[in-house]
Amino acid sequence: MLSKTANAASYFVDRHREEGRGAKTAYREVESGRSITYEDLTRGAETLAGALKRAGVRPEERVAMLVLDQVEFPQIFWGALKCGVIPVPLNTLLAPQVYDAILQDSRASVLFVSAPLWDAVGPVVGDNPYLRHVVVIGDAPEGTKSYDAFIEGAEPQETCAVSSDEVAFWLYSSGSTGQPKGVAHVHSALRATADTYGAEVLQIAEDDVVLSAAKFFFAYGLGNAMTFPLSVGATTLLFGGRPTPQGMIETIRDHQPTVFCGVPTLFAAMVAQMGREGAPDAPLRICI
């Protein structure tokens, strides 16, 4: 049965406006200081949905996202879900030939790309038979459209009705045993992981500030920095660069997150670094 409430965007984005959380910061970029509130996130997703519809992108078509951890990412991701389009976040560290294979395999009709990543994907977009729009966040090279121009004047769209087991987004595997393979995730899976791991194990709360070393394009990072904090109205810090031990220690010290999500190898390197320099003073819970 189709319903708006089955759309993951309804729970993770829309309800924050209804519950009076619109003025609260949802995301803040560590390096630039840019931030968006929950109201900004909702409006941005609605506008992106309208821009996709205006561009002729139909429900169940794929849009690829070669996007750094920046405030545009959640607006694109949830905007696609709001209009039934399937976002496909891509690993930002791959080679052009791998992006070519993924774009061909997914048959994405739109590619969103952060300007610093253009050189890695630019050489392969010209020969792609499926891409109808290439949208660059930042300075747009010739033959592409800037993100601001793509969304300008678009009519905001309400969240569309879907079924709970309808495909919401794809992620691609690492490709360790061949070319990366697309893995489909349904709308209800996002709520299920937030209700179980996010609420019961991590016990995330509205007053938490979350920092994830894992990026949005990983399933682990998508939960840490997207669905878990959005499920309770928490604030997420976005670190756009590589999560080096020193960079994570400095970010924890300077921005005081209450939840830090990483992996054992990073934690080991951070402990070694802190053994030499001392640990940052922060009210921190660790998520592995």
Residue 28: predicted pLDDT: 98
Asked whether 102 and 63 are in contact (CB, 8 A), the reply is: no
Is the per-residue pLDDT at 280 higher than 80? no
Task: Tell me the pTM.
Answer: 0.95
Mean pLDDT of 52-72: 98
| Angle, CA of 177, 183 and 186, to the nearest 5° | 160
- Are 116 and 31 in contact, with CB atoms under 8 Å apart? no
User: What is the structure's pLDDT at 137?
Assistant: 98
pLDDT at 276 over 90: no
Q: Give the domain range for residue 97.
A: 4-287
Domain total in the chain: 1
Q: Residues 80-138: pLDDT tens digits?
A: 999 999 999 999 999 999 999 999 999 999 999 999 999 999 999 999 999 999 999 99
What CATH number is attached to the domain comprising 270?
3.40.50.12780
Task: Give pLDDT, residue 177.
Answer: 75
